[in-house]
Each structure stands twice: as structure tokens, then as C-alpha cells.
């Protein structure tokens, strides 16, 4: 599948902040209503993918913090 045919392919390149900002926008749009069923489903699917991307970033941060805590303290 190419990026053109794979929906939400752009999400992998987003920073945490970008993904979170888009996710907030989608939640707001879904809460306000007015979208067709098809559009709402597409928004929901993108929101799920964005939430997953945010979780990936957070998990990476947790691992980095755990690794930093496990390193011996350096004398200053």
C-alpha cells in the first residue's frame, strides 16, 4: 500500500504535540456534530490512529526516563 492509498499514513511523521492537537480538533468536531455518518467514521478512525501515535510517543518517553534512572549517577 502506498501513502496515497493508505489512510492516515501521515500520522507516523507527527510529533506528539502535532498528533495531540489534531486529536483535540477531531474530538471537538465529533462533539459538535453536524458531520455525515461517513465523515464521522473517518474522523473516528483518524482519531484512533492519532491516539495510538500519542501513546507511542509517551511509551518512548517512559522508556527513556526509566533508562536515565537506571544509569549510575555521574560525579560532578
Place of cell 465523515: 39
Per-residue burial over 52-65, b if 16 or more Cβ lie within 10 Å, else e, is ebbeeeeeeeeeee
Per-residue confidence (pLDDT) for residue 72, from 0 to 100: 76
- Flag whether 33 is in a domain: yes
Residue 71, pLDDT score: 86
Domain extent, residue 16, equals 11-70
Inform me whether the pLDDT recorded for 24 exceeds 80. Answer: yes
Is residue 36 in some structural domain? yes
Residue 3 lies in a domain: no
- pTM score, two decimals? 0.78
pLDDT-based confidence at residue 67 (cuts at 50, 70, 90) = very high
| % the chain with pLDDT above 70 | 87
Res. 49: pLDDT tops 80: yes
51: in domain: yes
Number of domains in the chain: 1
- Asked if residue 45 lies in contact with residue 9, where contact means CB atoms within 8 angstroms, the answer is no
On whether residue 18 sits in a domain, the answer given is yes
**What size, in residues, is the chain?**
76
User: Does 76 fall in a domain?
Assistant: no
Q: Which of the pair, 72 or 24, is modelled with greater confidence?
A: 24
With respect to residue 2, please indicate whether it lies within any of the assigned structural domains.
no
Amino acid at each position: 500500500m502506498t501513502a496515497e492509498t493508505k489512510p492516515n499514513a501521515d500520522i507516523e511523521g507527527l510529533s506528539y504535540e502535532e498528533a495531540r492537537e489534531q486529536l483535540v480538533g477531531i474530538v471537538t468536531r465529533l462533539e459538535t456534530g453536524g458531520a455525515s455518518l461517513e465523515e464521522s467514521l473517518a474522523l473516528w478512525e483518524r482519531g484512533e490512529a492519532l491516539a495510538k501515535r500519542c501513546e507511542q510517543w509517551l511509551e518512548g518517553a517512559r522508556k527513556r526516563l526509566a533508562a536515565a534512572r537506571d544509569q549510575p549517577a555521574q560525579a560532578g
